[in-house]
Chain A
């Protein structure tokens, strides 16, 4: 308590004897309340300033994106410069492929690791894994990109959707593991004990009782992780690489929305710029829809799930 002490320090004896000047005290109090009001105002302004960029970015996305978002954007392939009517059909499919590959690899491993963390709370491996998962979560995505390039692209000699999926999966695993752990921990122990008492095997209890109770939260965690990797560009630069043509082979370079936005944004052509805005709008819409589903899926039941 910093503020009250200066008020008391100048004349402690007077205060004890009860003749502390009332006017001075009232003045001090007024000043203290003024400081309080000013600071309350300042943190309010901080909240407005912090949400302002989001509003501005979304405003520009809508303004620029809607203008260039037509049906052929979803159905057509990219066209060479000068030809209008190009789209990003291949990039949309490519992004979905990459998300799918990453999920197939990342979700089982992440959820499994999360179960281990929740069940062996204090063990040495659990503590190490928990800490490393948190640190991995904060590693730059470009590092994941060059890692995946080194192990999956360099030996093979060509870019592939595989490598991109693995880079994204490597980003998902630590995050999914931590959210799964948090959710599984909220399942009451009595539920597990009841299943065990009925003669259920340990593995069956964990999978069909504990994990099933926590399904909504685990799904939310998975969706949040998917929303996060859906917009990642850096890990894909040297793995999925991008592709101007139609490709659904996991062994070939594949187009992705974020990569396409990056290439088009840096190009000198107006037509490509507007395509980039449209792509950004589609990407953001995809991410927002996934995030909203995640939020609705767990409303009320596992309040901590989405954080």
Chain B
């Protein structure tokens, strides 16, 4: 309000009045100015209240989500207690609810996704920030970002009609029989098609852009001097990256991977369409499974009773808490790096 305060003091000051020859004109002018200033004061107050309220919407939304879902899931959590997380009996007909198969499926499918996409995504990020010629960087980065723009349901559609037939007729028999990996429990059993493997593969495609874009940003934030110092010591390009750039960017890249993990844990549609939706724990990746998100997506609209509904809400709450923690950790790590690099370059 400093800009408005200056003229107001002059116009409103009683010292000004005697100096002026006529009393009427400045009084009218002062009144008009006063109205304008008052308008500005009111406008400012309305504006700052409004944006503060808008900003408050975010924490309020967060608290509302947590509360509403917790309250809705409370009956099931109270009835089953801790065994809700450890029991593998998901039997709506008999009113027994244990989320263990869904939690297991969520963790395994996300693990497959990260195991495949992490090296690829970091490779892409290194390629884009260090090796690629200037003209290639934007287009390739755009294509990789586009992977994130494809809707989940489209990945699911593609998975059902293209990926699963290939897995069932070619990849699964190849892994099990030709490579004789069938002796391992992970690659044994009949090849259904809809399976943990299919879900993990589609998830790896879906989380890759998130990991690679965070990694790329973090790599680009590494100060030039870090690279120049290594190069000046006679290091090759790869030695520079491995020895000077990656260690510097490490925690940011880990943050990106954890961010990808958060996406994989909560991904719903593509997984629901590909994982086979069976509440069982099986070591074989060829067997169908369930994830927390797909369990909710599948059973919510035809829940058979209040307890079933409450159990699904409780699963939602568990998913909420897990992704909340994962995302908070990831953000913290990424911020750590960006703040560190900002501090060092300044």
Contacts and interface: CB of A to CB of B under 8 A. Distances in A.
B43 interface: yes
Interface string A190-214: 0000001111111110110000000
B144 A234 contact: no
Contacts of A122: none
A43 B126 contact: yes
Interface string B268-287: 11000100000000000000
Nearest to A200: B3
A126 B56 CA distance: 9
A150 B64 CA distance: 11
A201 B242 CA distance: 53
B308 interface: no
A172 to B, nearest CB: 11
A57 B47 contact: no
Contacts of A307: 213, 217
Interface stretch (A12-20, A70-78, A82-90, A136-144): A136-144
B268 A136 contact: no
Interface stretch (B9-17, B18-26, B230-238): B230-238
A36, A47, A108, A132 interface centre (most CB from chain B within 10 Å): A47
B292 to A, nearest CB: 9
A277 B217 CA distance: 35
B149 A51 contact: no
Contacts of A284: 150-151, 154
Given A238-B301, A261-B154, A4 B235 contact: yes
A139 B324 CA distance: 7
Interface residues of A, number: 100
B293 A32 contact: no
Given A60-B158, A138-B263, A265-B157, A40 B55 contact: no
B239 to A, nearest CB: 4
Contacts, number: 301
Interface in B48-91: 48, 50-59, 61-62, 64-65, 68-69, 72
A46 B238 contact: no
A50 B236 contact: no
A146 interface: yes
A49 B205 CA distance: 10
A198 B4 CA distance: 10
A276 interface: yes
Contacts of B52: 116, 125
Chain A interface secondary structure, helix, strand, loop or mixed? helix
B300 A238 contact: yes
A221 to B, nearest CB: 15
Lowest 8 A-B CB distances belong to which pairs? A140-B266, A231-B151, A46-B123, A112-B54, A203-B47, A201-B40, A116-B55, A138-B327
Interface of A: 1-4, 32-33, 35-36, 39-40, 42-47, 49-51, 53-54, 56-57, 60-61, 64, 108-113, 115-117, 119-120, 125-126, 128-129, 131-144, 146-147, 149-151, 170, 173-174, 177, 196-204, 206-207, 227-228, 230-234, 237-238, 241, 258, 261-262, 265-266, 273, 276-277, 280, 283-284, 287-288, 291, 307
Interface of B: 1-4, 7, 39-40, 43-44, 46-48, 50-59, 61-62, 64-65, 68-69, 72, 119-124, 126-128, 130-132, 140, 143-144, 146-147, 149-158, 160-162, 205, 208, 212-213, 217, 230, 233-239, 241-244, 259, 262-263, 265-269, 273, 293, 296-297, 300-301, 312-313, 316, 319-320, 323-324, 326-328, 330-331
8 contacts: A3-B242, A3-B243, A36-B236, A50-B212, A110-B54, A113-B58, A116-B54, A237-B301
